[in-house]
Amino acid sequence: MILFVAALMLLFEPRVSSTSSSLETQIFQYIDDHQNEFIENLKDWVAVKSDSVQPAFRKEVTRMMELTADRLRALGTSVMLVNQLPDGQSLPAVLAELGKDPHKPTVCFYGHVDVQPAKKEDGWKTDPYTLTEIDGNLYGRGATDNKGPVLAWINAVETFRALKLDMPVNFKFIIEGMEEAGSLGLDEVVKETKHFFSDVDYIVISDNLWLSKKKPALTYGTRGNACFFVEVGCGERDLHSGTFGGIIHEPMTDLIALLDSLVNMSGHILIPGIYDDVATLTEEEKQLYESIEYDLEEHKTIAGVNKFLYDTKEDILLHLWRYPCLSVHGIEGAFYEPGIKTVIPSKVIGKFSIRQVPHMALATVEKQVTQYLEEVFSKRNSSNKLKVSMPMGAMPWVADINNPMYLAARRAIKTVFGEEPDMIRDGSTIPIALPIGAADAGEHSQNEKISRYNYIQGTKLFASFFLEISKLHGQLQEASNTTCALTEEP
């Protein structure tokens, strides 16, 4: 047993060389030479309005899934389409595979090609669905979340194919079109196709951002998300405040009190017990935070705000990554248009979510939130009806940063970018995550972009990662074989 650990430790000693091999040079040269072609491909993808949030665009999402399947077929993969939606609705998820060599590791890439809604009127400087290059930045909806990274991975595989190089790993792909709508149906797809994933050694996701504009990063954890609806209703129909104002308990007033009871001005969640299961911060973990490059002022500028709740880098990152937070998102049923309308809405639904962290269990969070809101509501003696529900919940995760996949990724980053990555976690929720979008990429907001630099270097990073994971995987297997032999000796 001890021998096994020792053998692994040896392998984990980073043997990072900052110069790339001649094979890598050849690959990187190809990628540089074909960058305009890669950008054209991204342009074609961005042009598809694959907005999964608004059902009216479902056809476009379907078309995007077909384009993705075509692109993957052109790589030589065998493609399988699996319907992702329930109840007679149809939208395929794309599963694809390339290579089945038992001596090579199998790497599965997860990505999504649907996008958040975008309209020029929302404040875009360019048409969101026409990829536009300005000062080295490629603006367009989906450029960084997540069409750009998906294509970068495909470009990297394409490079090996075009150069007639032996593929260093076996590839699997799972690409979906419902991520922005909460990955509806993805669980079922994965369950139905379990056999497809049975020989996967490593899973890679590239759907998040670096922490700074320039320094690459590697993500080893994300927060989860528990989404809540708080519904308060009085009667059947909306009322006029001239006729009923002053003689009834108004649902909106109750709802605002409920929402206001959730979190205080310091960002502290006021729901009793909610922090009980949060993992305690270890000394080793604390040190990881100290070395991270993070420019507070730059982050304020990106957010467009003038103050954060915390003043130090460590406090900010801890509260983004390893402590829970609660955000209020909206109120359905309330009057929100410009102008005045003296209405008393009969039913309003407040929407908020808690980004939960290890080891908070969803069921516990649901119970704590429901009990607390019911208690706050009952103290108001309101004659209205309250209903609390949790329509969606996703678990947080944290990975072991000494896993071979992370070491391979660190080496690849060192080769392509010439420096060690920041080891980061991500405050938002996704299912190893190799981000290639910089911190100011604007995923979900207006003027989303990926820079030409990040897109092309990202493609190289993935190509280099294939080579590194293949080497490490081979070394690991050898080491475990040697160890078995050693431990079998009397």
Ligand X SMILES: *[C@@H]1O[C@H](CO)[C@@H](O)[C@H](O)[C@H]1NC(C)=O
> Where along the sequence are the contacts to ligand X (CB under 6 A)?
264-266, 268, 380-381, 474, 477-478, 481
Please say whether the beta carbons of 317 and 311 come within 8 A: no
Please say whether the beta carbons of 36 and 119 come within 8 A: no
In the complex, what is the shortest distance from the CB of residue 400 to ligand X, in angstroms, rounded to a whole number?
23
In the complex, what is the shortest distance from the CB of residue 309 to ligand X, in angstroms, rounded to a whole number?
10
Please say whether the beta carbons of 57 and 489 come within 8 A: no
In the complex, what is the shortest distance from the CB of residue 231 to ligand X, in angstroms, rounded to a whole number?
21
- Assign residue 123 a region: left if phi > 0, alpha if psi is -120 to 50, beta otherwise? left
Q: Residue 136: which residues within 8 A CB-CB, separation 6 or more?
A: 451, 452, 453
Cβ distance to ligand X smaller for residue 56 or 265: 265
Is 260 designated active site?
no
The position carrying tokens 């043997």 is 15
AA letter at 238:
D
Which helix (H) or strand (E) segment holds residue 148: the answer is: helix 147-162
Taking the C-alpha atoms of residue 324 and residue 396, their distance in angstroms, rounded to an integer, is: 10
* Residue 313 φ then ψ, to 5°: -55, -45
Cβ distance to ligand X smaller for residue 122 or 478: 478
The CA–CA distances, whole Å, from 164 to 105, 157, 348, 465 equal 19, 11, 60, 18
Cis-peptide into 146, omega within 30 deg: yes
Q: Which entry of 51, 114, 207, 422 is annotated as an active-site residue?
A: 114
Cβ distance to ligand X smaller for residue 19 or 266: 266
Taking the C-alpha atoms of residue 68 and residue 88, their distance in angstroms, rounded to an integer, is: 22
Q: Which entry of 51, 145, 179, 254 is annotated as an active-site residue?
A: 179
Please say whether the beta carbons of 206 and 409 come within 8 A: no
Taking the C-alpha atoms of residue 313 and residue 96, their distance in angstroms, rounded to an integer, is: 41
Cβ distance to ligand X smaller for residue 74 or 484: 484
DSSP class of residue 479? Answer: H
Please say whether the beta carbons of 131 and 225 come within 8 A: no
In the complex, what is the shortest distance from the CB of residue 479 to ligand X, in angstroms, rounded to a whole number?
9
Cβ distance to ligand X smaller for residue 288 or 318: 318
In the complex, what is the shortest distance from the CB of residue 102 to ligand X, in angstroms, rounded to a whole number?
7
Cβ distance to ligand X smaller for residue 198 or 381: 381
In the complex, what is the shortest distance from the CB of residue 374 to ligand X, in angstroms, rounded to a whole number?
15
Q: Residue 446: which residues within 8 A CB-CB, separation 6 or more?
A: 118, 122, 123, 124, 128
Which of 22, 279, 344 has its CA nearest to residue 165? 22
In the complex, what is the shortest distance from the CB of residue 116 to ligand X, in angstroms, rounded to a whole number?
32
Which of 450, 445, 413, 437 has its CA nearest to residue 41? 450
Is 114 designated active site?
yes
Please, what sign has the CA dihedral across residues 119, 120, 125, 131? positive
In the complex, what is the shortest distance from the CB of residue 474 to ligand X, in angstroms, rounded to a whole number?
6
Helix (H, G, I), strand (E, B) or coil at 191: helix
Cβ distance to ligand X smaller for residue 113 or 271: 271
**Taking the CA of residue 73 as centre, how many other CA atoms within 13 Å lie in the half-sphere pointing to its CB?**
10
Which of 228, 239, 233 has its CA nearest to residue 347? 233
In the complex, what is the shortest distance from the CB of residue 480 to ligand X, in angstroms, rounded to a whole number?
7
In 10 A of CB 57, how many CB atoms? 19
Cβ distance to ligand X smaller for residue 123 or 246: 246
Residues in the chain: 490
Cβ distance to ligand X smaller for residue 78 or 477: 477
Residues labelled catalytic: 114, 179
